[in-house]
Amino acid sequence: MKSIRQQLRSELLFLDGAMDIRLMEMGMAPFAHPEMMNLVHPEWVYNVHREYLEAGADILRTNTFGVNGWKCSDVKYQQIIREGIQIARRAAAHASTEEKPRYVAFDIGPSGAKPMEEAIPSFAEMVQIAEEEGANVIFLDSFQELYEMKAAVLAAKENTSLPIFVTMAQSLERDPACFAALMEGLRVDALGLQGGTNPNDILPLVRELAGRCSIPIIATPNRRLHSPAEEFALDMRELMEAGAHLGGGSGGTTPAHIRCMAKRCDSLHPAVIQQEEITVASSYAIAQRIGGGDSGSLMVGERINPTGKRRLQQALQDHDWSYVQREAMAQGESGAQLLDVNVGMPGIDERQTMQEAVLAIQQVVALPLLLDSARPDVLEGAMRVYNGKPVVNSVNGRQRTMDAVFPLVAKYGGVVVALPLDEGGIPETPEGRLAVARKMIREAAAYGIEKKDIIVDPMVLAVSSIARGAVTALESLRLIKMTLQVPTILGISNVSYGLPGRANLNAAFYTMALQAGVDMAILDPGCEPVRGARDAYQTLCGLDENGLRYIGRYKR
Amino acid sequence: MKSIRQQLRSELLFLDGAMDIRLMEMGMAPFAHPEMMNLVHPEWVYNVHREYLEAGADILRTNTFGVNGWKCSDVKYQQIIREGIQIARRAAAHASTEEKPRYVAFDIGPSGAKPMEEAIPSFAEMVQIAEEEGANVIFLDSFQELYEMKAAVLAAKENTSLPIFVTMAQSLERDPACFAALMEGLRVDALGLQGGTNPNDILPLVRELAGRCSIPIIATPNRRLHSPAEEFALDMRELMEAGAHLGGGSGGTTPAHIRCMAKRCDSLHPAVIQQEEITVASSYAIAQRIGGGDSGSLMVGERINPTGKRRLQQALQDHDWSYVQREAMAQGESGAQLLDVNVGMPGIDERQTMQEAVLAIQQVVALPLLLDSARPDVLEGAMRVYNGKPVVNSVNGRQRTMDAVFPLVAKYGGVVVALPLDEGGIPETPEGRLAVARKMIREAAAYGIEKKDIIVDPMVLAVSSIARGAVTALESLRLIKMTLQVPTILGISNVSYGLPGRANLNAAFYTMALQAGVDMAILDPGCEPVRGARDAYQTLCGLDENGLRYIGRYKR
Ligand SMILES: [Zn+2]
Ligand SMILES: [Zn+2]
Ligand SMILES: [Zn+2]
């Protein structure tokens, strides 16, 4: 028999439609919890499932959507879940054939924002039950918050081996790129959109997801009010043509809608799933493309790093998060497009401090973060609480480090900064650094980490100690970029360590790095010469027609 | 019969030795002018010439060395010159064979510093007589001042078609590179050194000249006191092996010295004359290599240019040369390695002003100058009075301009800045600019201007009017440098014309130009960010071990 993961790669699959309308038609009181029917009228639920299967659905969602929202009460929600899965399994088994297997997706809706530490165990309990009862898929349905969705995915990954499908509730304000980056990073099996006032509301979003994702796309729109099933079917066909691979209905849809849809889409070939090579880091609100395209080189704020900063050291010791938040905001106002967060210093619990710092910063700044530590346990803690797809800064080519960090990236998602140094130290030559970087990309692939999720830092050593530190860095950057076709990152300020006139050196090195094609630079965006170097570079590159942006910034 | 120019390219040639010792031995009073003997004892002079011919000399210097020094007196110096040449011609004709032709070189010594306007007509009169009387060569003997030598060479070029040989009096303080640059630029046929306390004094200088020049080298040292002729001969052999092509004697040498030398050197093959590809501009005291080598990119001070500078405009109108001199000195103190001089403005006699400016600046600053004008007549005036091998800024690819400027470079010597624009305007693409530059190099070759004496300015247009102005300039620079292997120059400040925050843009563009390999940059060396860009670039390129120079400049 086929598996659902195999089918997803080669076929269009149909989901079912809404449960509540049919249950009400069968006699359910308008304000009842539909999930309660699993206990009080299981035959109604069974019959609705049978109708959808007859209409052509490949996948049934269990009648459990609302449980997550009210299970804090004393209702026997575990029992409702078990019954819901069993009812769907009986219906699916009845209709399943070798040719057209039918699947049961354990349906979980959102519960509203909860602290990560409470959300994960709660989801964990439910998905464990679902796997015990024989569900085929974990279906995170119509979530509103990425952060809760992340908690649910982590719970599913940590407690089951079932495929994970996720849909976001359609919302015009929400950037689907953040959703895609985070969920693909977390390795879900399919992702998509739910809701809208009609299927056309999600059409542009489905298109955008299809252009960004290398996994199947789900579309479960609401039906348009006062419109026939046939119209819904035509809209669904359009969504499938736009790139959706799994189609079904949400609010207002009935077996008639699914039947029409299945007929209309029967002859379609599924859209080809591209392997997108775009590198993206994200927060809950901003998906930042790295390398390629028109984004230009990105500025990463370096200031949240206690090395040599007394005031920040004190703030970290005192858990004075408002100071850290102000530093984060100030860097954003100076033009930083991402922020590096490093709390490594003696005398603190680095893992705990890092988690608190990340949470505090994400409260006030929407910029994607670089989680910066040499310690894998600190990286793990930060990745767990981070809301988005982070940049993990960094992993080096030592086997022990790769063995510790790559599994974290595979689990939590993220773009990883690779430092091409290994057991032999930092290679002196660009060719040596290229060789280590290539080895690291190969090793990462063994963990399912694609090359697009690797940024190489060719490493700049201070010219005060290594005269060719800057030259070697730039030569390595050019060689690695050209040969491996990966984005690159450089810590600009390292170059001037131990010298006076650092801003001047940093500005010149930044200009040189920009010219060499660096994709991200870690620096102090509040340092005028450094910021000026970037403004000038963009103007000189003709990216600022007639210098208007430059004039706006520099006119007296 | 062979010509002396042909022989120079393939054979070692011998000059004669001193005249005065033998004349005194024959009866001349110790304090007499030896040249007077041409009138009162022509047979003595004839006999000394015959002795040198018998000793093996190929070239006789006429007994006229001192005339230039005392001809302001009322003595009939013209007659002395005519007789001197006739005596030498009779002796040479007697000894000349098809196999070994003998030549007469009209010998002129220095007269001491004179204003250019007086020196040239005075030399002109003498060389006209020499050509009338049938001399084969103009020999400028033992000059002390490059400027006077330039005047004499110009007089010889303007009034005769004879080959020109020049020797400088050896002096440890004088840079032979300035001498070589100026004289090769002026297209003399051979150049060399005279004097010293013994031949070894000039050995390192002859080596340096041989390494720099693409023309034959002359060595006419003094004999060492109290040493036999054989020792002189061995020393001369060493000089010939070191690169000299014409050997003879100065103070204290006799026919015995020349005979020994001719024997000792008879079996030597002449040193191969390399076509040196080094680009050099010079003043009277500094020979500045451009491109290649360790010199790095050169800073050219831009401030002597009245465009947009009220104070300088006023100074030029008032002939206030002390203001111009202060500007020149200040730029030198800020690190400029050459200075651009442009006096183009309405309401002045540009040619006259340019000449005065060049003379005034050379009084106080030893840096080589760029003579900057769009007008060929202004360039001519400046080149005429300039003491050294200038950079001529500039010529463009319009046929009319090339026809006007290239003859000036061929006559006065100089390195010419080629602007790759022609009748079709400024090409938009790097390939277009390359094509014009290539055409200009070909056209220059027709005037005997070698590629090494051409610097290409790929031209930067202000980004405020042409968004890709900087990008195209740098792409053109890279393409032209790589394809044509010529040095390049850029006017840095042009890029920011019409924008605020110019220093910031100029500094970034300078860094980018340095990275692209620009060999000279015209800029304001007193502008801190611009100067800082260069300091940083050198430190970042590893040219400043441990950043010590940088620390020296930037430490608090
Ligand atoms: Zn409910
Ligand atoms: Zn409720
Ligand atoms: Zn005298």
Across chain A, what does the average pLDDT equal? 94
Q: Which residues surround ligand 1, an ion (CB under 5 A)?
A: A 33, 66
Provide the percentage of residues in chain A whose pLDDT is more than 70. 98
Between the alpha carbon of residue A7 and those of residues A4, A13, A14, A195, A242, the distances in Å are 5, 8, 11, 25, 19
- State residue A459's pLDDT score: 97
Could you give the angle at the alpha carbon of B300 between the alpha carbons of B213 and B186, nearest 5°? Answer: 30
This complex has an ipTM of: 0.82
pLDDT band at B476 (very low <50, low <70, confident <90, very high): very high
Ligand 2: centre distance to CA A71 (Å): 8
CA distance A287 to chain B (A): 29
Q: Which two tokens stand for residue B73?
A: 């007196």
pLDDT band at A30 (very low <50, low <70, confident <90, very high): confident
Q: Which of A230-234, A523-527, B31-35, B477-481 has the lowest mean pLDDT?
A: B31-35
ω into B394 cis (within 30 of 0): yes
Between the alpha carbon of residue B470 and those of residues A175, B117, B466, B492, B512, the distances in Å are 36, 45, 8, 10, 9
Mean pLDDT for the stretch of residues B37-53: 97
Note whether B499 contacts A539, CB cutoff 8 Å.
Answer: yes
ω into A394 cis (within 30 of 0): yes
Q: Three-state DSSP class for A183? A: helix
Note whether A505 contacts B550, CB cutoff 8 Å.
Answer: yes
- Express each pLDDT in A256-311 by its tens digit: 999 999 999 988 988 888 877 899 999 999 999 999 765 679 999 999 999 999 99
Ligand 1: centre distance to CA A34 (Å): 6
Note whether A512 contacts B508, CB cutoff 8 Å.
Answer: no
Q: Where are the domains of chain A?
A: 4-265, 279-554
User: In terms of Cα–Cα distance, which of B149, B200, B150, B190 is closest to B170?
Assistant: B200
Q: Which of A126-140, B58-72, B123-137, B443-457 has the lowest mean pLDDT?
A: B58-72
pLDDT band at A342 (very low <50, low <70, confident <90, very high): very high
- Residues in B touching A510 (Cβ below 8 Å): none
- State residue B485's pLDDT score: 95
- Angle between helix B376-385 and helix B350-364 axes, rounded to 10 deg: 30
Between the alpha carbon of residue A395 and those of residues A376, A517, B265, the distances in Å are 9, 22, 72
- State residue B201's pLDDT score: 86
SS (HEC) of B102-122:
CEEEEEECCCCCCCHHHHHHH
Between the alpha carbon of residue B524 and those of residues A508, B288, B361, the distances in Å are 17, 19, 17
Note whether A546 contacts B467, CB cutoff 8 Å.
Answer: yes
pLDDT band at B53 (very low <50, low <70, confident <90, very high): very high
User: In terms of Cα–Cα distance, which of B13, B11, B33 is closest to B77?
Assistant: B33
Ligand closest to Cα of B73 equals 3
- State residue B156's pLDDT score: 97
- State residue A172's pLDDT score: 61
Mutation target vs B (from A297, A509, A511; most B CBs, 10 A cutoff)? A511
On whether the CB atoms of residues A279 and A501 are closer than 8 A, the answer is no
Mutation target vs B (from A539, A549, A555; most B CBs, 10 A cutoff)? A539
Q: Which residue of B has its CA nearest to A532?
A: B504
Ligand closest to Cα of A32 equals 1
- State residue A76's pLDDT score: 82
Ligand 1: centre distance to CA A36 (Å): 9
- Residues in A touching B554 (Cβ below 8 Å): 499-501, 504
**C-alpha–C-alpha distance, residues B414 and B388, integer Å:** 8
Flag whether pLDDT at A140 surpasses 70. yes
Ligand 2: centre distance to CA A141 (Å): 17
Note whether B509 contacts A547, CB cutoff 8 Å.
Answer: no
Strand order in the sheet with A217-221: A13-14, A246-247, A217-221, A190-195, A164-169, A137-143, A103-108, A59-61
Mean pLDDT for the stretch of residues A443-463: 97
Q: How would CATH label the architecture of B4-265? A: Alpha-Beta Barrel (3.20)
Name the residue with higher pLDDT: B292 or A350.
A350
Note whether A505 contacts B469, CB cutoff 8 Å.
Answer: no
- State residue B126's pLDDT score: 94
CA distance B122 to chain A (A): 55
pLDDT band at B173 (very low <50, low <70, confident <90, very high): low
- Express each pLDDT in B285-343 by its tens digit: 999 999 976 567 999 999 999 999 999 999 999 999 999 999 999 999 999 999 999 99
Name the pairing type of β-strands A287-290 and A279-282. Answer: antiparallel
On whether the CB atoms of residues B312 and B322 are closer than 8 A, the answer is no
- Express each pLDDT in A196-207 by its tens digit: 888 888 999 999
Residues 6+ away with beta carbon under 8 Å from B170: B193, B194, B195, B196, B201, B202, B205, B221
- Express each pLDDT in A487-514 by its tens digit: 999 999 999 999 999 999 999 999 999 9
CB contacts < 8 A, A to B, total 139
User: In terms of Cα–Cα distance, which of B513, B175, B111 is closest to B368?
Assistant: B175
**C-alpha–C-alpha distance, residues B36 and B30, integer Å:** 13
One fold for B4-265 and B279-554? yes
Note whether B501 contacts A550, CB cutoff 8 Å.
Answer: yes
Ligand 2: centre distance to CA A70 (Å): 5
pLDDT band at B275 (very low <50, low <70, confident <90, very high): confident
The owner of tokens 């249950």 is A23
Mutation target vs B (from A510, A540, A553, A556; most B CBs, 10 A cutoff)? A540
Mean pLDDT for the stretch of residues A99-119: 87
Q: Three-state DSSP class for A541? A: coil
CA distance A367 to chain B (A): 27
Mean pLDDT for the stretch of residues B486-496: 97
- State residue B293's pLDDT score: 61
Ligand 2: centre distance to CA A31 (Å): 9
- State residue A75's pLDDT score: 64
Just give the CATH number of A279-554.
3.20.20.20
Flag whether pLDDT at A74 surpasses 60. no
On whether the CB atoms of residues A250 and A195 are closer than 8 A, the answer is yes
Name the residue with higher pLDDT: A1 or B54.
B54
